Amino acid sequence: MIFQVNAPRVVHETLDGETIIIDTENGFYYTAHGHASAIWRALSEGHSPELIRSAYQREGKQLPQPVLDDFVRQLGDANLIIPAGQLLSQSTWKAPADGADQLKTLEFECHEDMQGLIELDPIHEIDASQGWPFQTDETS
């Protein structure tokens, strides 16, 4: 199965091997580190989990099916990715060469501490006396 980012609801950026994924609908943000970041990037580019797993095998690394399946399930359960209607990428993908020979987990965390700030509506919540944007009782 091929997936795609659940855009425009979900936005993401990768910097220095860490991916930040923001769900603009519920205000949660997620961080993916190391191999989880690389796999997120591959999924977001339209590569299938099967292609990703075989890329790890070509590099001589073990990416157990349950580890990859659990990661993809977490992304789907959080509505960060959705099934793609068509093949998005026909190119090959190369697994990162760094790290352990066997991946037992993928570092992926959910953060709720910025939820109120992310949910602010800077276009409509304007008040010259309170600054811009400001939190109403509904968003706090």
Residue 135 belongs to some domain of the structure: no
Q: Is the pLDDT of residue 54 over 50?
A: yes
Residue 22 belongs to some domain of the structure: yes
Residue 137 belongs to some domain of the structure: no
Residue 10 belongs to some domain of the structure: yes
H/E segment holding residue 3: strand 3-5
Residue 105 belongs to some domain of the structure: yes
pLDDT digits (tens, 9 = 90+) for 56-92: 999 899 999 999 999 999 999 999 999 987 665 567 7
Residue with tokens 């008040």: 127
Residue 39 belongs to some domain of the structure: yes
Number of domains in the chain: 1
User: Whole domain around residue 31: which residue ranges?
Assistant: 3-118
Residue 133 belongs to some domain of the structure: no
End-to-end CA distance of the chain: 39
pLDDT digits (tens, 9 = 90+) for 88-124: 556 778 888 776 666 778 889 998 866 555 555 554 4
* pTM tops 0.85, yes or no: no
